[in-house]
Amino acid sequence: MSAHNHDHGHDAHEHHHKDTFITKYIFSIDHKMISKQYLITGIIMGIIGVGMSMLFRMQLAWPEESFKIFSFFLGERMAPGGVMNNETYLALVTIHGTIMVFFVLTAGLSGTFSNLLIPLQIGARDMASGFLNMVSYWLFFLSSVVMVISLFVESGPASAGWTIYPPLSALPQAMSGSGTGMTLWLVSMAIFIASSLLGSLNYIVTVINLRTKGMSMTRLPLTVWAFFITAIIGVISFPVLLSAALMLIMDRSFGTSFFLSDIYIAGEVLHYQGGSPVLFEHLFWFLGHPEVYIVLLPALGITSEIIATNSRKPIFGYRAMIMSIIAIAFLSTIVWGHHMFISGMNPFLGSVFTFTTLLIAIPSAVKAFNYITTLWKGNLQLNPAMLFSIGLVSTFITGGLTGIILGDSTLDINVHDTYFVVAHFHLVMGISALYGMFAGIYHWFPRMFGRMLNKNLGYVHFWVTAVCAYGVFFPMHFIGMAGLPRRYYTNTNFPLFDDLQNVNVIITTFALVGGAFQLVFLWNFFHSIFYGKKSVQNPWKSNTLEWTAPVEHMHGNWPGDLPEVHRWPYDYSKPGHDDDFVPQNVPMKPGEEVLHH
Amino acid sequence: MTTFLILTVVVLLAVALWQLTKIFDLTQVGGGNVNDTQIANDNDNKVNGYLMFAFLGFIYLTTILCLLNYSDLPLIGDAASEHGPQVDNLMVISLVLIFIVQTITQALLHYFAFKYRGRQGQKALYFADNNKLEFIWSIIPAIVLAGLILYGLYAWTNIMFVDEKDEQDAIVIELYAQQFKWEARYAGADNVLGKANVRYIEGVNNLGVDLSDPNAQDDFTAPELHIPKGKRVVFKMRSQDVLHSAYMPHFRAQMNCVPGMVTSFSFVPTMTTAEMREKPAMIAKVSNINAIRAKKSEKLVADGQTALDPYTFDYLLLCNKICGASHYNMQMKIVVDTPEEYAAWLKENSAKTIVQAVKTAAEEAKASETPAATSKDTSSTAGKDTTVVAQAEPKH
């Protein structure tokens, strides 16, 4: 964008500086550029994370074969002669989990869309602090770099599972991945958490302080509500993980005993005394469970917005949606113990956590039913973004329902840490959040790049992904209920599980096809940035403020005054209006009534 | 073979992709409003609306196929412990409930997506909220969940909080975990385990039993777990290095082993190994597995390798918490005996106490030390094998 746009700025952004390549594309403080930086970094990390899952799925389906592709990607050291070794397998699942949960679905999803949409949808010129926003992105970038570097250290990357339970993660004697690789993992996560906290604080302050005239909290789009509450959960829970990580670093490097006690390993007794790994589990899951919602709520917010816009209908139960976001956020901080029913903690706590956990099903059910009701008697515009949103509701229901089993301590005894868990959380948070991210990209791509994504490629992308996602994770429930533990490099040592092998082959086939078809998306994405059809200002005929800003990006978002808000964001197909949408900045007609509450 | 398969998949993928794009392209023609704005038009809505409906069929089909082909896999029914049927009951209730809700909600979601697909000129209904509806779908899940929670908590309390009286007549066995093997320590005649700590680990006393503890004098260890049918067994679990999880799926039992603390789980086995082998479902499962193994063996033999042994069922204790490189192969056989068989087994094994083994080892060491004072390291070998990071199984 050129300098002339600055002439129209009416606030702090008025200063006349010339954008150089570096200030515009690299150390930018413009939220729109930062959001693109988050997205592209997230996509690159996503390619690494998904790629890893393809490799270990091949290992699980054909454990007795050797693949040249293994040594091609992993090198001769980790996969000698095309045979993946057992530590490499654990390294792959660990880094896959870490990258997907934190780098793709936390930073990539929340970072991208909170940054893009909060200022644009509340009618602000930028984030409260553009500088902190920039620092936040570059810390995220740095943590990604450290994580990627950790893949190349001699002793291998962290391999103790993404939950890095000590003592396994604390003792290099316990596995080689717990050496330098683990140190880098912890350093990377510490930087990541700093980035996430700066980002979250910025989002919270921006939403509270910078809403434009008329934008009361009950006129906020549900996207902004979701990002806002997500940021609050992040600020509450991420510091706890940071402290756990720091204590683990102390145990590893400075001889403290926070998490370690009575250990005999490698032929000697270690000095640790009095600590408890169970403490680490508590601290980890105090973040770990809210993290599920840090990942999921933004996706649900995006879905709410897209389903309403493309149904040409108000979202059903706006206030109930807000209440359920808040209820989910609150409950999410008091359910972490359901990951620990059989950790050795007092079984009475198990009862308490079963109770709080199953309560979450109520606001979740409300959300699901509200989405379905929003579709009812709509005029559905089945754009790729809409398909991914409907897909999200579908996987959210399928995956959420099995939570009723896992949240029940009695049933968890036998399915804990089996593939049943893997199937459950991949559907309810992995696939659902990924669908939310895709939906967001298809919907706001024109807003980000001023061009349209190719819809036919989008349709192909969605339908193949949808079929493959169910193909992968639906049968997986059954091998979990058969008792197959997760994180087994191969189950050939258990004749008991021999009859699960053909299921594994089916799962892997779906995974490979689904993974390959993400290339369609990547091509569409990168090609359309440069060659896509030019977008009009409001392609989806949406009500929210971001579509009232000019297609060309500019500092300060709007030339001239900030838009003023006169109504809630969901006046779609409102009786008394000719168009089936009424943007938020359109004043109420004389005598027009508010038809929602 | 695999290369061929992969190639086929790649080719099929390419063809499918080409076909799909072509189908979507064709739908653009003659749709009335030909446009290249990349925004869904009536034709897109129609095609994708129908696909939504078809997708509902796909979900149902996947469910039915999975139920038909895999319904014998889940561990439901034939539980080998007293509390097992309770767990299975709750599981069945939950699964049926989930199945019903899933069937209905997916039908509504996808049917609406199909039914209300956009058409030009059609206007959506402005329907922003309805307190009654929202109340209904908050209260119904609440009631259903209340039922599940109550049943769940009742079962959980039964399983985890055992009456003191029951616990008193129970057999106490320690499950000792280390990278990457299990050991069982029996409490001997006094039914009280001697004190133990990793700091006592030395030589053959690889569980770190306090040899001076009077209760430890009759403790003995076994590499395979024997328990009698019909008697409560209390497992006291310890780990010497990292977290492990003692998972006994057929007994619906699992508990983590945590270094620095003793965890416990108890159950009453209700079916001997022999009885379990005779269950019709188990016979079917084992013969299926053996058919699979026979097929695999044919291939192995053709490649000049040894055939796989046929499989007979045994209860297993698995490690179910990631514990290092060879986590995937940390297992111990569990044998449920009749009380008589168990008594015989005890008689045979209880004489080999830990105290006795330590004494014998010391004497042997002394005897070999006198002629040549070089074999100093014999006493420290016991712990050593745990340090060796197991290598990947050789592949063919």
DSSP notation for A262-298: S-EETTEE----S--HHHHHHHHHHHHHHHHHHHHHH
Q: Which chain A positions have a beta carbon within 8 Å of B147's beta carbon?
A: none
Q: Which DSSP category does A3 fall into?
A: G
pLDDT band at B37 (very low <50, low <70, confident <90, very high): confident
What is the domain extent for residue B153? 132-159
Is residue A5 one of the residues assigned to a domain?
no
Concatenating the DSSP letter of every residue in A468-535 gives HHHHHHHHHHHHHHTTPBTT-S--TT-GGGGGGHHHHHHHHHHHHHHHHHHHHHHHHHHHHHHHSPBP
pLDDT of amino acid B167: 78
Is residue A289 one of the residues assigned to a domain?
yes
pLDDT band at B16 (very low <50, low <70, confident <90, very high): confident
Provide the angle, in degrees to the nearest 10, between the axes of the packed helices B131-160 and B84-115: 160
Residues B272 and B144 in one domain: no
The Cα A423–Cα A528 span in angstroms is 34
Is residue A12 one of the residues assigned to a domain?
no
The total of structural domains in chain A comes to 1
**Alpha-carbon distance B311 to nearest alpha carbon in chain A (angstroms):** 7
A193-250: per-residue pLDDT in tens? 999 999 999 999 999 999 999 999 999 999 999 999 999 999 999 999 999 999 999 9
Is residue B59 one of the residues assigned to a domain?
yes
Structure tokens at B167: 């616990």
pLDDT of amino acid B371: 60
* Nearest-by-CA chain A residue for B44: A382
B288-337: per-residue pLDDT in tens? 999 999 999 999 999 888 889 999 999 999 999 999 999 999 999 999 99
Share of chain B above pLDDT 70, in %: 87
Structure tokens at B126: 């402005």
The Cα A260–Cα B260 span in angstroms is 7
Structure tokens at A245: 């990580």
Burial B173-212 (b: 16+ CB within 10 A, else e): bbbbbbbbbbbbbbbbeebebbebbbebbbbbbbbbbbbe
A483 part of contact set with chain B, CB < 8 Å: yes
pLDDT band at B27 (very low <50, low <70, confident <90, very high): low
Q: Which DSSP category does B301 fall into?
A: H
Is residue A218 one of the residues assigned to a domain?
yes
CA dihedral A456, A459, A461, A466 (to 10 degrees): -170
Q: Are A159 and A59 in contact (CB under 8 A)?
A: no
Is residue A276 one of the residues assigned to a domain?
yes
**Alpha-carbon distance B327 to nearest alpha carbon in chain A (angstroms):** 7
Residues B200 and B246 in one domain: yes
Is residue A576 one of the residues assigned to a domain?
no
pLDDT band at B367 (very low <50, low <70, confident <90, very high): confident
Residues B267 and B323 in one domain: yes
Q: Which chain B positions have a beta carbon within 8 Å of A418's beta carbon?
A: 320
The Cα B370–Cα B76 span in angstroms is 61
Question: In this complex, do B328 and A401 lie within 8 Å of one another by their Cβ atoms?
Answer: no
Residues B206 and B318 in one domain: yes
Sign for the CA dihedral angle at A445, A449, A454, A460 comes to negative
Residues B93 and B140 in one domain: no
B267-295: per-residue pLDDT in tens? 999 999 999 999 999 999 999 999 999 99
pLDDT of amino acid B365: 87
Residues B144 and B254 in one domain: no
Question: In this complex, do A397 and B109 lie within 8 Å of one another by their Cβ atoms?
Answer: yes
The total of structural domains in chain B comes to 3
Is residue B30 one of the residues assigned to a domain?
no
The Cα A353–Cα A275 span in angstroms is 24
Alpha helices (H) along A407-431: 409-415, 419-425
pLDDT of amino acid B255: 97
Count of Cβ atoms closer than 10 Å to residue A410 Cβ: 28
pLDDT of amino acid B372: 52
With DSSP H G I counted as helix, E B as strand and the rest as coil, what are the percentages for chain A, rounded to 5?
65, 0, 30
Q: pLDDT below 70 — which residues of chain A?
A: 1-18
Helix (H) or strand (E) holding A355: helix A347-359
pLDDT of amino acid A8: 43
Q: Are A480 and A433 in contact (CB under 8 A)?
A: no
Q: Which of A305, A298, A373, A297 is nearest to A330 (CA)?
A: A297
The Cα B270–Cα B232 span in angstroms is 10
Is residue A99 one of the residues assigned to a domain?
yes
pLDDT of amino acid A77: 84
Residues B140 and B221 in one domain: no
* Nearest-by-CA chain B residue for A172: B324
Residues B95 and B196 in one domain: no
A residues 96-155 near B, CB within 8 Å?
none
Interface probe for B, chosen from A353, A375, A414, A492 (most Cβ of B below 10 Å), is: A414
**What are the distances in angstroms from CA B238 to CA A308, B177, B246, B259?**
55, 6, 10, 6
We report the CATH number of the domain holding residue A517 as 1.20.210.10
Question: In this complex, do B126 and A509 lie within 8 Å of one another by their Cβ atoms?
Answer: no
Interface probe for B, chosen from A64, A182, A342 (most Cβ of B below 10 Å), is: A342
Q: What are the phi and psi torsion angles at A286 (to 5°)?
A: -65, -30
What is the domain extent for residue A445? 27-262+271-548
Residues B69 and B94 in one domain: yes
Average pLDDT, chain B: 87
Say yes or no to pLDDT of B5 above 70. no
Question: In this complex, do A86 and B45 lie within 8 Å of one another by their Cβ atoms?
Answer: no
We report the CATH number of the domain holding residue B255 as 2.60.40.420
Rg (CA), chain B: 30
pLDDT of amino acid B4: 64
pLDDT of amino acid B387: 37
Interface probe for A, chosen from B239, B254, B333 (most Cβ of A below 10 Å), is: B254
Query: Which of B118, B150, B173 marks a domain boundary?
Result: B118
Largest CA distance in chain B: 104
pLDDT of amino acid B19: 74
pLDDT of amino acid B8: 76
Is residue B8 one of the residues assigned to a domain?
no
Beta strand B171-178 with B233-239: parallel, antiparallel or unpaired?
Answer: parallel
Is residue B184 one of the residues assigned to a domain?
yes
